[in-house]
């Protein structure tokens, strides 16, 4: 497949805080939660107030980030009987956006599999774009995608649904390199065709970031222990050995793998959001 320029397809001025990052990808396992964790850690390091909302019934984010994560659960059966129940379920999301705006911070919203379009529908019904503008928040639609056709098609569909409701939002595409590189796809493959049909049309209007592979199975060891990515970097080797059961040399390698990954991802985030507006944080 012909090579393409991966990072930053277009250059935009850094998004100022407060900002709302909406993770839109209807296929599970494409890096949404990992993106949320890394973005929350990047904000924490700069002292940026952060609100995290998950529209899902998984407990991964609260396990990592604590009980302050706002969890919205949608009951499809109940919603079929009373559609207004689903719309009312999103009210805590609105309150979280208000709180992040008042603190001049960052709101990160992760929609679970098959939840993005429901969220976009709610956004249209409440005229969320106007609300965010009144709050002074910069909206970002963030879509991680991998090399599978389903990932690209569902990701593009979710991003497009949200852009229809928030047309002034910034689109951020994140190429998750866990399963290989887009440029390594065979031109005649279904995956290459999906990329040309779904992602390529979005690229001229998007900033494209990369999420490199975390070497080996290093991250899974810490994820199962409930350790945030940035905390892995500062853990003493003895503590890592205790958490993971790894011998000392392998514990050092695992910590180094996560640190190298986090360094790249932080640099990518810094190309889209101004995390260091100290004057604003002090207001």
Closest CA to 74 of 52, 92, 50: 92
Q: 57 lies in a domain?
A: yes
Q: What is the mean pLDDT of residues 184-212?
A: 95
pLDDT reported for residue 119:
93
Burial degree of 88 (CB within 10 A; 0-12, 13-18, 19+): exposed
172 within some domain: yes
pLDDT per residue as tens digits for the range 142-194: 999 999 999 999 999 999 999 999 999 999 999 999 999 999 999 999 999 99
pLDDT at 236 over 90: yes
CATH number, domain at 127?
A: 3.40.50
pLDDT over 90, % of the chain: 72
Q: What is the pLDDT of residue 3?
A: 44
What is the mean pLDDT of the segment spanning 193-221? Answer: 93
Confidence of residue 216 (pLDDT cuts 50, 70, 90): confident
For 9-66, what is each residue's pLDDT tens digit? Answer: 455 678 899 999 999 999 988 999 999 999 999 999 999 999 999 998 777 788 889 8
What is residue 12's predicted lDDT score, i.e. its pLDDT?
63
* Per-residue confidence (pLDDT) for residue 73, from 0 to 100: 87
Q: Establish if 183 belongs to a structural domain.
A: yes
**Sequence-distant (≥ 6) Cβ neighbours of residue 259 within 8 angstroms:** 232, 233
Residue 33, both tokens: 């939660």
Tokens of 67: 């009980």
The packing angle between helices 116-125 and 128-135, to 10°, is 70
- pLDDT of res. 165: 97
Running DSSP on this structure, what letter comes out for residue 72? E
Q: Is residue 222 part of a domain?
A: no
Beta bridge partners of 19: 106, 138
For residue 79, the model assigns a pLDDT of 65
pLDDT value for 283: 45
Residue-wise pLDDT for 242-259, tens only, equals 999 999 999 999 999 999
Give the helix/strand (H/E) hosting 254. Answer: helix 248-270
Could you tell me which residues come within 8 angstroms of residue 34 by beta carbon, excluding any fewer than 6 positions away?
Answer: 211, 219, 229
How many domains, the chain?
Answer: 1
Write the CA distances from 36 to 3, 56, 143, 237, 254, integer angstroms.
28, 14, 11, 26, 21
pLDDT at residue number 203? 94
Give the range of the structural domain holding residue 40, as residue numbers without chain letter: 19-215+264-282
Per-residue pLDDT, 7: 44
Tens digits of residue pLDDT in 117-138: 889 999 999 999 999 999 999 9
The pLDDT value given to residue 235 = 95
Whole-number average pLDDT of the chain = 89
Does residue 225 form part of some domain? no
pLDDT score of 5: 43
The answer to whether residue 103 sits within a structural domain is yes
What pTM value is reported for the model? 0.90
Q: Is the pLDDT of residue 2 over 70?
A: no
Q: How confident is the model at residue 67 (pLDDT cuts 50, 70, 90)?
A: confident
Q: What is the pLDDT of residue 62?
A: 87
Indicate the DSSP class of residue 205.
G
Q: Which helix (H) or strand (E) holds 258?
A: helix 248-270
Q: What's the confidence (pLDDT) of residue 111?
A: 93
* CB-CB contact of 21 with 108 (8 Å): yes
Compute the distance between CA of residue 93 and CA of residue 20 in angstroms, rounded to an integer.
Answer: 11
- Reply yes or no on whether the pLDDT at 279 is more than 90: no
Q: Is residue 125 part of a domain?
A: yes
238 domain-assigned: no
């Amino acid at each position: 497949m012909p090579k393409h320029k991966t990072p930053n397809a277009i250059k935009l001025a850094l998004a100022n805080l407060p900002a709302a990052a909406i993770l839109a990808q209807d296929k599970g396992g494409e890096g949404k939660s990992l993106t949320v964790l890394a973005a929350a850690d990047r904000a924490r390091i700069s002292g940026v107030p952060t609100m995290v909302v998950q529209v899902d019934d998984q407990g991964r984010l609260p396990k990592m980030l604590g009980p302050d994560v706002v969890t919205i659960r949608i009951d499809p059966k109940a919603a079929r009987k009373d559609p207004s129940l689903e719309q009312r379920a999103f009210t805590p999301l609105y309150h979280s956006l208000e709180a992040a705006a008042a603190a001049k911070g960052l709101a990160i919203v992760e929609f679970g599999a098959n939840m993005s379009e429901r969220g976009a529908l709610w956004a249209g019904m409440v005229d969320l774009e106007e609300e965010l503008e009144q709050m002074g928040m910069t909206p970002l639609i963030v879509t991680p995608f991998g090399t599978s056709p389903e990932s690209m098609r569902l990701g593009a569909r979710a991003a497009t649904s949200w852009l229809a409701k928030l047309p002034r939002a910034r689109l951020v595409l994140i190429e998750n390199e866990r399963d290989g590189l887009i440029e390594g796809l065979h031109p005649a493959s279904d995956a290459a065709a999906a990329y040309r049909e779904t992602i390529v049309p979005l690229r001229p209007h998007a900033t494209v970031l990369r999420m490199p592979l975390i070497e080996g199975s290093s991250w899974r060891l810490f994820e199962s222990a409930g350790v945030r990515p940035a905390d892995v970097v500062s853990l003493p080797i003895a503590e890592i050995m205790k958490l993971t059961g790894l011998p000392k040399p392998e514990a050092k390698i695992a910590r180094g793998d996560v640190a190298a990954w986090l360094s790249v991802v932080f640099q990518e985030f810094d190309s889209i959001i101004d995390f260091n507006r100290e004057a604003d944080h002090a207001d």
